Amino acid sequence: MQKRRSRYLEAGLLTIGLTLLGVFLASHIYGSIASRAAVWKFATLADQGSGSGVERAQTAGQGVDFGLWSEKRIEAYKQLLSAKFEDPIALLTIRRLSLEVPVFEGTEEPVLNRGVGWILDTAKPGEGGNIGIAGHRDGFFRCLKDIQIGDRIELATPDQKTAYTVDAIQIVIPEDVSVLLPRKRPALTLVTCYPFYFIGSAPMRFIVHASIEESDLKLDNNAPNSESRTTNKQEVTK
């Protein structure tokens, strides 16, 4: 009788283990499909354009790496699998950090659970000012904990692809909106909460500043002046 109970217990534990493994694999697979769908949509838009954004978009083929994500963020991502979103306006890539993520308009919670968001009132991707992009510290932008000065960031729109080089990293209070102001040359600013593994609402903001590379600057003579936009936001978006 005792041996029979042991066998039943072993079978039960095995079944539970296989079920949990299946759920874990399903969350990774479904999350990957949703993100790739957005990237593939961007690639379709890029095909309709005439700029260099097409080449990069068409190389997108790998799934999302959830290795650094929190369980809460993965669950939030899964809940949006069937939600309808506007088309992504850009594709952000940091090759050294294995990051490739669609950029949507706005920084509302559903947007940041699906990708990263363009901060309104900053220069729009493809323009020549300071482009602000926000992401969650326990999601797509957690890899920014390993960002380094000199890293290359690519931002592709359906019409063009622009490369930026990281030249400054800051930790600021949420009310410090000066990080989003125009810089002396076209720039990209990434924003996320800090500390990365803080439990609860993180009190600070982690800021990555990157300036356009010289080769792209020469090709962007007709872009809006980098001093033409300002932001009136009361707080840096998390």
For the chain, give the secondary structure using H, E and C. Answer: CHHHHHHHHHHHHHHHHHHHHHHHHHHHHHHHHHHHHHHHHHHHHHHCCCCCHHHHHHCCCCCCCCCCCCHHHHHHHHHCCCCCCCCCCEEEEEHHHCEEEEEEECCCHHHHHHCEEECCCCCCCCCCCEEEEECCCCCHHHHHHHCCCCCEEEEECCCCEEEEEEEEEEEECCCCHHHHCCCCCCEEEEEEEECCCCCCCCCEEEEEEEEECHHHHHHCCCCCCCCCCCCCCCCCCC
Contacts of 234 (CB under 8 A, 6+ apart): 175, 177
Q: What is the pLDDT of residue 17?
A: 58
Q: Is residue 232 part of a domain?
A: no
Q: What is the pLDDT of residue 94?
A: 97
Q: Is residue 24 part of a domain?
A: yes
Q: What is the pLDDT of residue 224?
A: 46
Residue 130 sits in a domain of what CATH number?
A: 2.40.260.10
Q: What is the pLDDT of residue 81?
A: 62
Residue 171: band (very low, low, confident or very high) from pLDDT cuts 50, 70, 90: very high
Q: Is residue 233 part of a domain?
A: no
**Number of folded domains in the chain?**
1
Q: Is residue 95 part of a domain?
A: yes
**Model confidence pLDDT, tens digit, residues 79-133:** 766 667 688 999 999 999 999 999 999 999 988 988 999 999 999 999 889 999 9
Task: Say whether pLDDT at 14 is over 90.
Answer: no
Task: Say whether pLDDT at 230 is over 50.
Answer: no
Q: What is the pLDDT of residue 103?
A: 95
- Average pLDDT (45-50) is 46
Q: Which residues are catalytic?
A: 136, 193
Higher-confidence residue of 196 and 73: namely 196
Q: What is the pLDDT of residue 46?
A: 45
Q: Is residue 179 part of a domain?
A: yes
**Could you tell me the residue range of the domain that residue 10 belongs to?**
2-219
Higher-confidence residue of 65 and 190: namely 190
pTM metric for this prediction = 0.69
In the chain, pLDDT over 90 holds for what percent of residues? 49
Q: What is the pLDDT of residue 80?
A: 66
Q: Which residue has the tokens 């982690």?
A: 206
Q: Is residue 92 part of a domain?
A: yes
Q: Is residue 14 part of a domain?
A: yes
